[in-house]
Every structure is written in C-alpha cells, then in structure tokens.
C-alpha cells in the first residue's frame, strides 16, 4: 500500500509545484517587466494587477516544500544539500521582493529604490528556480542514500540555460496577464513584450527539450521508447497549437487567449518533465518508492491534505473570482 500512497503523494507534490509555477509565475513576470513600464501610474497599475493575489499564490510553494519534507524525507535530504545555493537565493529574493512590494507604497522619495528591488527580486527568484530545475534534471550524484556531489554541481551551462528560459517564460506569463487585466499604456507595453518574450520562450523551451533527452540515457529511452514516444510527438504538437492560439488571440485582441495559451505551454512543458523523471524522484538514482516515508506517515498526512488542499483551492478560486476583470486605474488594491 505504501507504494500506491507514494505515487498519490508524488502527484499531489507535482500538482502543488505546478500550481505555484502557474500562479506565482505571472506575478514574478510582472516584476521582471516592471522596468519597461513608463511613469508612476503605469507601474502602480501593473502592480495593482497582481496585488490582491500575489502573496496567496506562494501558498503552493510552502505546500510543495513542506510536503516534500514530510512525505519524501530522503528526497529532501538529498536535494537540499545539492541545491542549497539556488534555493537560498530564491527564498531571499522572494522575501526581498515581498518587502519591496509593500514598502514602495509607503514612500515617495525612495520609491525608485523599491522599484529596483521589486524587479531584482523577481528576476533572481525566477532565475534561481530555473537553475534548481536544471540541476535536478541533469541529475544529482547520490552514494549510500546521501548527496555525494560537489558544492558547485548545480552550476552548469544547462542549468544556466534553464534559468534564462524560466525568466523568459515568467516574463511572458506576466506580459499576457497584464494584457488580460489592464488597458491603456500598460496593455500596449505588455502586448509588445508578449511578442518578444513569447518568441524567446518558445525558442528556449525547444532548445531545452532538445538537450534534455541526451543528459541521461534513461531520458532518451523514456522519450523515444514505446508507448512514451506517442507523448513525445503529442507534446510538441500541442505546444504548436498553444502557440497558434496565442498568436490568434494577440491578432484578434482576445485578451484572455494569450494568457491561457501561455498556461497551456507551461502545463505541457511540465508534462514533458514528468515523462523524463518518472519513476524517479531524484534522478538518476532514487525512485518515488525509494524516498517515500513510512506507510503510517503517508496515511496521516494524506488525511490532512484531503482537508487542506480543497480549502486552499477554494479560497484561491474565490480570490480570483472577486478580483476578476480589468483593473480600474482609479481604484486599486492599495
């Protein structure tokens, strides 16, 4: 039974990570694009587009990280030493960004400093997440159920590539969110940035996808062995459909379409990542079954998750419903 519960929990952790990437991705993207907003009114409007939901979005990061520690303690014990630097940089950047988010509304003279901090924190958080992802994909050295690699194994050309790709992807998500949520000068800037970041994201996703199968022989087998080869064909095809929807929405001024297409791109990329990883939790040596906690712990935590996760989904959905539609420049959250 522990094996079944382990895979259920792996799905829950994967869902929490995907929810975080999707929900926090667009508000990190707004921060990345902040320097391109001209004038205080445009910057205030861009920030108000994410102000009601940005802190709640990070709930999923807490759920994913805490769940990994409780449910897959061996994975946590191996991954953390391998990725201490990018994870600490990410957390500090998120704190820095959160402080800047609130403090820029409380000052006039030093507002530009908090604007810089907001952008810097957003870029560094996104880049650190991409670095950590790339380091995990390329594999973590494990000996005797412990991390056996060096202090700088996480820093490679591939991890830097994934870091840049995630910054571009988040910027695309932020641009399409602003297209959907704003009007006027902010929307015009966001539309221009959506075109550039969209092209960059597609190119970088394609490059990462081409390199990934050759990082590990098991990835190559998993991608091109039957029946997974069917998904290998379907995922890129679905990404092309998402790109078509994105372009059509931009051309016809259907403001929600580019954002939804961007979400589809991230979900499809996440599915491709899952195909590469399965059944490993810490590639290339520790499987989901290897790192799972005892049966009693999995049952106990699952009982709590069955209450907690629906509650988080409910209040997240309600928040987005309350603050739906275009942002009123005369109103605002602050």
Mean pLDDT of all residues in 32-59: 87
Mean pLDDT of all residues in 27-43: 90
> Is residue 145 in some structural domain?
yes
- Beta bridge partner(s), residue 287: 280
Mean per-residue pLDDT of the chain: 88
Please, what sign has the CA dihedral across residues 270, 20, 114, 172? positive
> Is residue 304 in some structural domain?
no
**C-alpha atoms less than 13 angstroms from C-alpha of 216 in its C-beta half-sphere:** 20
Bridge pairing between strands 146-147 and 280-282: unpaired
What pLDDT, on the 0 to 100 scale, is given for residue 166? Answer: 96
Of the chain, the percentage scoring pLDDT greater than 70 comes to 97
> Is residue 218 in some structural domain?
yes
> Is residue 307 in some structural domain?
no
What is the dihedral angle through the alpha carbons of 19, 20, 22, 28, rounded to the nearest 10 degrees?
170
> Is residue 164 in some structural domain?
yes
Mean pLDDT of all residues in 229-241: 83
Whole-Å CA distances, 287 to 13, 145, 283, 284: 15, 12, 8, 8
- 73-83 pLDDT, tens digit per residue, is 998 899 999 99
Mean pLDDT of all residues in 48-70: 85
The CATH code of the domain that includes 19 is 1.20.1630
- Containing structural domain, residue 139: 9-292
Query: Which of 82-91, 108-117, 208-217 has maximum average pLDDT?
Result: 82-91
Mean pLDDT of all residues in 295-317: 90
> Is residue 328 in some structural domain?
no
Q: How many domains does the chain contain in total?
A: 1
Tell me: pLDDT of 1 over 50: no
> Is residue 172 in some structural domain?
yes
Whole-angstrom distance, CA of residue 229 vs CA of residue 250: 32
What pLDDT, on the 0 to 100 scale, is given for residue 321? Answer: 92
Q: How is residue 139 annotated by DSSP?
A: -
Query: Which of 84-93, 143-152, 211-220, 272-281 has maximum average pLDDT?
Result: 84-93
> Is residue 173 in some structural domain?
yes
Whole-Å CA distances, 298 to 74, 78, 106, 277, 301: 14, 19, 45, 22, 5
Give pTM, 2 decimals: 0.92
């Amino acid at each position: 039974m522990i094996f079944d519960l382990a895979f259920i929990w792996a799905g829950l952790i994967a869902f929490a990570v995907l929810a975080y990437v999707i929900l926090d991705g667009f508000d990190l993207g707004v921060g990345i694009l902040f320097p391109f907003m001209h004038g205080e009114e445009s910057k205030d409007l861009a920030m108000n587009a994410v102000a009601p939901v940005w802190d709640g979005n990070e709930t999923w990061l807490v759920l994913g990280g805490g769940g990994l520690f409780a449910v897959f303690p061996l994975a946590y014990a191996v991954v953390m030493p391998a990725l201490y630097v990018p994870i600490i940089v990410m957390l500090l950047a998120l704190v820095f960004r959160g402080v800047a988010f609130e403090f820029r509304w409380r000052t006039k003279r030093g507002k530009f400093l908090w604007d810089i901090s907001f952008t810097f924190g957003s870029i560094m958080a996104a880049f650190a997440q991409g670095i950590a992802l790339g380091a995990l994909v390329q594999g973590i050295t494990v000996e005797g159920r412990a991390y056996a690699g060096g202090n700088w194994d996480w820093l490679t050309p591939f991890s830097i590539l994934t870091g840049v790709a995630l910054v571009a992807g988040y910027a695309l998500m932020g641009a399409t969110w602003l297209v959907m949520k704003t009007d006027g000068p902010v929307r015009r800037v966001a539309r221009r940035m959506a075109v550039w970041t969209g092209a960059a994201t597609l190119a970088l996703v394609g490059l990462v996808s081409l390199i990934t199968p050759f990082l590990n022989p098991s990835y190559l087998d998993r991608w091109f062995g039957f029946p997974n080869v069917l998904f290998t064909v379907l995922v890129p095809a679905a990404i092309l459909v998402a790109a078509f929807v994105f372009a059509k929405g931009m051309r016809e001024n259907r403001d929600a379409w580019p954002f939804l297409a961007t979400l589809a791109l991230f979900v499809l990329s996440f599915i491709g990542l899952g195909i590469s990883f399965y059944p490993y939790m810490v590639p290339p040596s520790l499987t989901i079954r290897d790192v799972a906690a005892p049966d009693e712990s999995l049952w106990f935590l699952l009982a709590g998750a069955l209450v907690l996760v629906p509650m988080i989904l409910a209040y997240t959905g309600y928040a987005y419903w309350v603050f739906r539609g275009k942002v009123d420049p005369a109103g605002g959250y602050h």
